[in-house]
Structure 1
């Protein structure tokens, strides 16, 4: 039973400063790496992470456990490249040492994001977070600010939006009132914080690779996604047009309900189209489809029908529009019933398809 003590360096600071290629495994190799990194940059937090990994390994060995210390380094190119590099290094260490569990040593929130990658290959018994204690005086504050300014990622994340906001203040004050100028700058800084905090930059960075993979793979979802975007655009246009025709152009609750009422059929059709393309891709790729993919189009359609019923009830009750055959309450009951019926049909179709695929697999095995 071998325990793998992993010191994670997602942005490859340790490998870049020491000039070594990861992974680095073994007590002597990691101890030598501590000296190299410490001589290159004594104030780096990576030195403390390496020392903590060695300390944990020594304690495990003193308790009679078989422990191996290793350093996993990613890449500074992109988060996806860094995570894939670390995954490959874990695979090589597992093949080499055949560990039964792992202890992960990290010194930042970015490094801690690698923990799920380790967990997908080994049982993680503990995550050791290294917090470096600093003296709170003027000199330490100066060095902390110096390190902050030297970090390229922090500069682009904090200083660039702050600088743009400061430049916009005199321009906005020249054209608008102080309240409008300060409100605009605060909104800009808030958008910048949300952009980074929600990881929009990472999603946009992975969008190009996802699009290329989708186009080159020849999937049906390429056509259905494009059709879904077109249907959604039509739905938004129809919703806006319907609200304007009823005179509810102001930002009122009934105008929002009317917009959803007119646009929901198109939006539901767009969602069903996208879900059907995903279903066909899964069916063509594996010849067997999981239950969520089979039931997805029916679930989306039933939700769209029920939402249409509720918005129609509120919209027609407020403006007294719609046919006089049924009252708004009766129409709502009919829409809910149709939605439940569509959902039950989806469950039934899913069950029949699952039985058919299972029976086909059994026949092929025979």
Structure 2
């Protein structure tokens, strides 16, 4: 009776770390493989699987059984190719050694998926799952703590918040009560976790670096960004004043619409100022202006018109603002009486105007982005033509003195 003790490796860790091709068959070959894998990666659990394979084979040999030890690996390209590679290698082992049964050794759930492939080709008497036990003694724990304390970034990220919490909580519990103190500390910890989770520190560092580079390079956008920030604060203040002027409206929809109605013009001017500065920087630089910078002002105005139109619609429906009245005019033979524009007509006018402006912006951006490459191409053609025209002339110019020198030499030789 011949028993095949096979160690399965679906992801080909053995081949990747040692460079050997599977199957690896034989007691001495597997024993040498243990050394190679252990030297390549001492922390790999595959070393324990190989040792367990040798141990099972030795126990079966002690019971006077014919044992064939083998290591079968898959492929790293895909799971399907890995399974097919294992199946092909098992067919080779069955054809060469004709085992009556098999003992399968695995060390992960990924390798356990290969067990049905082995069962389809021979009888499987046992499946040996290797679980590595790791005991962290006092010395290893001390080593890990020492390494942790040696890392400055980890100390600042973990120890500093814990220390501040332990210091602040007793004071808050004494002054405002335990519940309020715990709520305040939880809020601070939540803000800190969000700050680290969204990488706000990296964003702030990047903005500071960009601002410093802009100042040193003398970009126009630095001034326009400052102006845009001021206009933004003015818009927020105007929106807050508009909300405060309301007479206790129910809900939050009307205050939100009033805030948007009063602040949107200022916010649109801020965005236009910032985009104008960026557009001027692009125009001053040698690089062609990107299409996004050309269409951004039109998009900003369109979005502002849409928000302004919808907020005005809701406010007019609730009679917070008066309907828009077109005044009477008299121009020669033409005359007109004043009339009021309804809320729906005003909204439609704002939306249509926004769509027209966005289309005009997209068309202008497309026109300028298409014309710039053509201009660059014309300039390149002109440069190439000038170089082509100048090269024969230079050759003739260079050839002139050479020819004259040769003639002079020839004449001198003749005289001699």
SS in 2 for 1:286: coil
1:233: Cα distance to partner? 1.0
Q: Is the 8 A contact 1:235 1:264 kept in 2?
A: yes
Matches of 2:314 and 2:201, distance apart in 1: 39
What residue number does 1:365 align with? 380
What residue number does 1:155 align with? 155
Q: Residue 242 in 1 paired to residue 245 in 2?
A: no
User: CA distance change for structure 1 residues 318 and 60 in 2, over 3 Å: closer, same or farther?
Assistant: farther
Matches of 1:178 and 1:250, distance apart in 2: 36
Matches of 2:262 and 2:234, distance apart in 1: 11
Deviations 1:140-182 (A, max 9, x none): 5554444333321111112212222222222222232433221
Q: How does 1:48-197 map to 2 (within 5 A)?
A: 59=19, 135=134, 137=136, 139=138, 140-141=140-141, 143-197=143-197
Q: Residue 303 in 1 paired to residue 303 in 2?
A: yes
Higher mean C-alpha deviation, range 268-277 or range 349-358: 349-358
SS in 1 for 2:323: coil
Q: Is the 8 A contact 2:235 2:265 kept in 1?
A: yes
What residue number does 1:327 align with? 342
Normalising by structure 2, we get a TM-score of: 0.53
Deviations 1:52-94 (A, max 9, x none): xxx95864999xxxxxxxxxxxxxxxxxxxxxxxxxxxxxxxx
Matches of 1:258 and 1:202, distance apart in 2: 36
Matches of 2:133 and 2:260, distance apart in 1: 55
What residue number does 1:214 align with? 214
Matches of 2:17 and 2:375, distance apart in 1: 52
- Tell me which structure has the larger Cα radius of gyration: 2
Matches of 1:60 and 1:281, distance apart in 2: 59
Q: Residue 257 in 1 paired to residue 257 in 2?
A: yes
User: CA distance change for structure 1 residues 237 and 147 in 2, over 3 Å: closer, same or farther?
Assistant: same
What residue number does 2:284 align with? 284
Q: Which runs of at least 4 in structure 1 moved beyond 4 Å after TM superposition?
A: 55-58, 140-143, 248-251
Which of 319, 324, 340 lines up with 2:355 in the alignment?
A: 340
SS in 1 for 2:321: coil
Deviations 1:316-361 (A, max 9, x none): 3235423252232222211111110110110122133234323422
SS in 2 for 1:246: coil
Q: Is the 8 A contact 1:235 1:262 kept in 2?
A: yes
Q: Is the 8 A contact 1:148 1:154 kept in 2?
A: yes
Q: Is the 8 A contact 2:264 2:308 kept in 1?
A: yes
Q: Is the 8 A contact 1:248 1:254 kept in 2?
A: no
5+ residue gaps, structure 2: 1-14, 23-131, 325-339, 382-416
Matches of 2:137 and 2:308, distance apart in 1: 63
Matches of 2:168 and 2:342, distance apart in 1: 55
Matches of 2:261 and 2:168, distance apart in 1: 40
Matches of 1:229 and 1:296, distance apart in 2: 18
Q: Is the 8 A contact 1:243 1:249 kept in 2?
A: no
User: CA distance change for structure 1 residues 326 and 134 in 2, over 3 Å: closer, same or farther?
Assistant: farther
Larger RCO, structures 1/2 (Cα 8 Å, 6+ apart): 1
Matches of 1:198 and 1:179, distance apart in 2: 28
1:246: Cα distance to partner? 1.8
User: CA distance change for structure 1 residues 178 and 363 in 2, over 3 Å: closer, same or farther?
Assistant: same
Q: Is the 8 A contact 2:225 2:277 kept in 1?
A: yes
| Structure 1 vs Structure 2 CA RMSD | 3.1
Q: Is the 8 A contact 2:323 2:343 kept in 1?
A: no
User: CA distance change for structure 1 residues 316 and 346 in 2, over 3 Å: closer, same or farther?
Assistant: same
In the alignment of these two chains, the number of paired residues is 244
Q: Residue 224 in 1 paired to residue 224 in 2?
A: yes
Q: Is the 8 A contact 1:279 1:294 kept in 2?
A: yes
Matches of 2:249 and 2:160, distance apart in 1: 38
1:137: Cα distance to partner? 4.2
